[in-house]
A and B are shown apart, each in its own frame.
Chain A
Amino acid sequence: MTTLVLRGGRVIDPKQKIDRPADLVIREGRVAEVIAPGQPAGNVEALDVKGLWVLPGFIDLRCVVRDQADLQDALEGGYTTLVSSPDSEALVSPHVRVLRAGALTKNVEGEELGEVAADTVCLSNGSRPIVRGGLMRRALQYSRPLKIPVMVHAEDPSLSGRGVLGEGFVATWLGLPSVPPSAEVSVVARDLALLEEQGGRLHFSHLTCAGSVRLVKDAQARGLAVTADATPHHLTLTDEAARGYAMEARVWPPLRPAADVAALVAAVRDGTIGAIASDHQRVDPVDREHPFDQSAPGIESLAHAFQRVAALKLEPSLLVRLFSTGPAEILDLEGGTLATNTRADLTIVDPAYARVRYTLIGGEVRFTGATR
Chain B
Amino acid sequence: MRHLLAIEGMPRAEIEAILSRAEAFRDGRASERRLSGKVVGNLFFEPSTRTRSSFEIAAAALGAHVLNWTVAGSSASKGESLLDTVRNLAAMGPAVLVVRHPSSGAAELVARAVKCAVINAGDGQHEHPSQGLLDAFTLRRRWGGSLSGKKVAIVGDVLHSRVARSNLYCLRTLGAQVVLCGPATLLPAEVGRLGAKVTTSLDEAIDGCDAVMMLRVQRERQTEALFPSEREYHRRWGLTSERAAGLKAGALVLHPGPVNRGLELAPEVADGLQSVILEQVENGVAVRKAILETVS
Is A190's CB within 8 Å of the partner chain B? no
A134 part of interface (Cβ distance < 8 Å) = no
C-alpha spacing A130/B79, complex, angstroms: 29
Partner of A292, one of B83, B105, B189, B191: B105
Interfacial chain B residues near A286, Cβ < 8 Å? 81
Shortest Cβ distance from B87 into A: residue: A289
Report whether B108 and A290 are in contact in the complex, using a CB–CB cutoff of 8 Å: no
Expressed in whole angstroms, the minimum distance between the Cβ of A218 and any Cβ of chain B is 26
Q: Give Cα A294–Cα B104 distance, bound, in whole angstroms.
A: 10
Residues of A within 8 A of B83 (CB): 289-290
Pick the residue among A161, A162, A172, A292 that contacts B188 (CB under 8 A): A172
Shortest C-beta distance, B75 to chain A (Å), equals: 7
> B82 and A289: CB pair below 8 A?
yes
B124 partner, pick from A168, A290, A291, beta carbons under 8 A: A291
Checking A161, A174, A289, A290 against B104 with a beta-carbon cut-off of 8 angstroms, the contacting residue is A174
B223:A169 contact, CB within 8 angstroms: no
Q: Contact size class for B? A: 20 to 34
Q: Which A residues touch B76, using CB under 8 A?
A: 290, 294
| Chain B residue with the shortest CB-CB distance to A244 | B108
What is the chain B residue whose CB lies nearest that of A247? B109
Q: With a CB–CB cut-off of 8 A, which chain B residues contact A167?
A: 189
| B101→A291 contact, CB < 8 A | yes
Cα–Cα distance between A161 and B160 once the two chains are bound (Å): 14
Which of A168, A177, A294 has the most CB atoms of chain B within a 10 A radius of its CB? A294
Q: Report whether B104 and A178 are in contact in the complex, using a CB–CB cutoff of 8 Å.
A: no
Please report the C-alpha to C-alpha distance between residue A28 and residue B82 in the assembled complex, in whole angstroms: 55
The answer to whether A290 and B81 touch (CB under 8 A), given A161-B223, A172-B191, A175-B127, is yes
Q: Which of chain A's residues 154-203 have a Cβ closer than 8 Å to chain B?
A: 161-162, 167-169, 171-178
Chain B, 81-96, contact with A by CB distance < 8 Å: what is the 0/1 string? 1111000000000000
Taking a contact as CB atoms under 8 Å apart, the answer to whether B189 and A168 are in contact is: yes
Q: Restricting to B98-149, which residues have a CB under 8 Å from any CB of A?
A: 101, 103-106, 108-109, 123-127
Confirm or deny: B255 has a beta carbon within 8 angstroms of a beta carbon on chain A. no
Kindly state the separation between the CA atoms of A169 and B18 in the bound complex, as whole angstroms.
30
Task: Collect the chain A residues with CB atoms within 8 Å of residue B75's CB.
Answer: 290
A290 vs B101: C-alpha distance when bound (angstroms): 11
Interface size range of chain A in the complex:
20 to 34
Report Cα–Cα, A291/B84, bound state, in Å. Answer: 12
Count contacts between A and B, CB distance < 8 Å. 73
Return chain B residues, CB-CB under 8 Å to A245.
Answer: 104-105, 108-109
Q: Is A293 an interface residue (CB 8 A)?
A: yes
Q: Tell me how far the C-beta of A296 lies from the nearest C-beta in chain B, rounded to whole angstroms.
A: 10
B190 touches A169 (CB 8 A): yes
B residues in contact with A172, CB < 8 Å: 188-191, 193-194
Assembly CA distance A178 to B191 (angstroms) = 13
Given contacts A245-B105, A290-B82, contact A171 B74 (CB under 8 A): no
List chain A residues, Cβ under 8 A from B126.
174-175
Shortest beta-carbon distance, A159 to chain B, in Å?
12
Among B74, B82, B83, B109, max chain A CB count under 10 A is at: B109
A294 to chain B, nearest CB (A): 5
Q: Is the CB of B81 within 8 A of A178?
A: no
Decide if A289 touches B84 in the complex (CB within 8 Å). Answer: yes
Residue pair A291, B105 in contact (C-beta under 8 Å): yes
Q: Which 4 residue pairs of A and B lie closest in terms of their CB atoms, listed nearest first?
A: A291-B103, A175-B126, A289-B81, A245-B105
Complex A-B: 23 CB contacts under 8 Å: A161-B223, A162-B223, A168-B189, A168-B190, A169-B193, A172-B193, A174-B126, A175-B104, A175-B125, A175-B165, A178-B189, A245-B105, A245-B109, A289-B81, A289-B82, A290-B76, A291-B103, A291-B104, A291-B106, A291-B109, A291-B124, A293-B103, A293-B104
> B residues engaging A (CB < 8 A)?
74-76, 81-84, 101, 103-106, 108-109, 123-127, 162, 165, 188-191, 193-194, 223
Q: Which residue numbers of A lie inside 8 Å of B, CB to CB?
A: 161-162, 167-169, 171-178, 244-245, 286, 289-294
Given contacts A289-B81, A291-B103, list 13 more A-B pairs with CB under 8 A: A173-B193, A174-B105, A175-B126, A175-B162, A178-B189, A244-B108, A245-B104, A245-B105, A286-B81, A291-B101, A291-B104, A292-B103, A292-B105
